Amino acid sequence: MAAFWPGPLTLLLPRTASVPDAVLPWPTGMRGALLLAVVIGVGVVLFRWRPTRFVAGAALAGSLLVVVPIRVLAPGWPPVGWLLVACDVGQGDGLVLNAGGGDVVVIDAGPQPAPIDGCLRALRVHRVRLFLATHLDADHVDGVTGVFDRRRVDAVVTGPLRSPATGWAAVAGAAAGHGLLITQPPAGQSWQFGGLRLDVLGPAAAAHGTGSDSNNSSLIVRATVGGTRILLTGDAGPEEQQALVRSGADLRADVLKVPHHGSAHFDPTFLAATGAREAVISVGAKNDYGQPAPPLLADLHDLGMRVDRTDLEGSIAICIRDTVLTVVSHKSRAPPVP
pLDDT in the model for residue 226: 85
Confidence of residue 75 (pLDDT cuts 50, 70, 90): low
- Of 72, 106, 124, the position where a domain reaches its end is 72
Confidence at 322, pLDDT banded by 50, 70, 90 = confident
Predicted local confidence at residue 53, as pLDDT: 55
Q: Is residue 228 part of a domain?
A: yes
Higher pLDDT, 225 or 338: 225
What integer pLDDT is reported at residue 7 of this predicted model?
Answer: 41
Which range is least confidently modeled, 8-22, 75-89, 98-112? 8-22
Same domain, 44 and 137: no
Same domain, 173 and 260: yes
Do 66 and 215 share a domain, yes or no? no
Between 65 and 72, residue with greater pLDDT = 65
In a domain, 335, yes or no: no
Same domain, 94 and 62: no
What percentage of the chain reaches a pLDDT higher than 70?
76
Is residue 91, in this structure, part of any structural domain at all? yes
Residue-wise pLDDT for 188-204, tens only, equals: 999 999 999 999 999 99
Last residue of a domain, one of 72, 97, 123: 72
User: pLDDT per residue over 283-294, tens digit each?
Assistant: 999 999 999 999
Helix 29-46 × helix 50-72 angle, to 10°: 160
- Which is more confident, 233 or 68? 233
Q: How far is CA 56 from the centre of its chain?
A: 38
Assess whether 38 and 104 both reside in one domain.
no
- pLDDT of res. 23: 43
Comparing 32 with 299, which gets the higher pLDDT?
299
- Assess if residue 283 is contained within a domain: yes
Question: Are 28 and 99 contained in the same domain?
Answer: no
Q: How far is CA 298 from the centre of its chain?
A: 19
pLDDT for the residue 68: 31
188 and 160 assigned to the same domain: yes
Which pTM value belongs to this model? 0.79
> Is the domain of 120 the same as that of 215?
yes
Query: Which residues are paired to 19 by β-bridges?
Result: none
- Examine residue 77 and state whether it is found in any structural domain, yes or no: no
Question: Which residue, among 329, 315, 243, 324, has the nearest Cα to 11 in the 3D structure?
Answer: 324
- pLDDT for res 76: 79
Residue 162 and residue 177: Cα distance in Å, rounded?
Answer: 19
What's the pLDDT band for 58 if we cut at 50, 70, 90? low
- Phi, psi at residue 3, to the nearest 5°? -115, 145
What integer is the mean pLDDT of 95-100? 97
Q: Flag whether 337 is in a domain.
A: no
Residues 39 and 188 placed together within one structural domain of the fold:
no
**pLDDT-based confidence at residue 331 (cuts at 50, 70, 90):** confident
Our count of domains for the chain comes to 2
The residue segments making up the domain with residue 164 are: 82-330
Higher pLDDT, 140 or 73: 140
Report which secondary-structure segment, H or E, holds 107: strand 103-107
pLDDT band at 49 (very low <50, low <70, confident <90, very high): low
Residues 6+ positions from 105 with CB-CB distance below 8 Å:
96, 97, 99, 128, 129, 130, 131, 132, 191, 193, 196, 198, 223
What's the confidence (pLDDT) of residue 169? Answer: 98
Q: Is residue 219 part of a domain?
A: yes
Q: What is the CATH number of the domain that holds 260?
A: 3.60.15.10
For residue 59, pLDDT over 90 is answered with no
Share of the chain above pLDDT 90, in %: 72
Residue 48 has a pLDDT of 61
Q: Residue 25: pLDDT above 60? A: no
Examine the domain organization and report whether 58 and 146 are in the same domain: no
Residues 63 and 115 in one domain: no
Final residue before a domain boundary, out of 38, 72, 106: 72
Letter string b/e over residues 17-42, b meaning 16 or more CB atoms within 10 A of that residue's CB: bbeeebbeebeeeeeeeeebeeeeee
Cα 116 from chain centroid?
A: 14
Q: H helices within the chain, ranges in order? A: 8-12, 29-46, 50-72, 113-122, 138-141, 144-148, 165-176, 238-247, 268-274, 294-302, 310-313
**What is d(CA 192, CA 199) in angstroms, rounded to the nearest whole number?**
9
Residues whose CB is less than 8 angstroms from the CB of residue 33 and which lie 6 or more positions away in sequence, other chains included: none
Residue 10 has pLDDT above 50, yes or no: no
Query: Are residues 118 and 247 located together in one domain of the fold?
Result: yes
Within a domain: 104 = yes
Mean pLDDT of 205-217: 96
Q: Is the pLDDT of residue 86 over 60?
A: yes
Q: Is 239 helix (H, G, I), strand (E, B) or coil?
A: helix
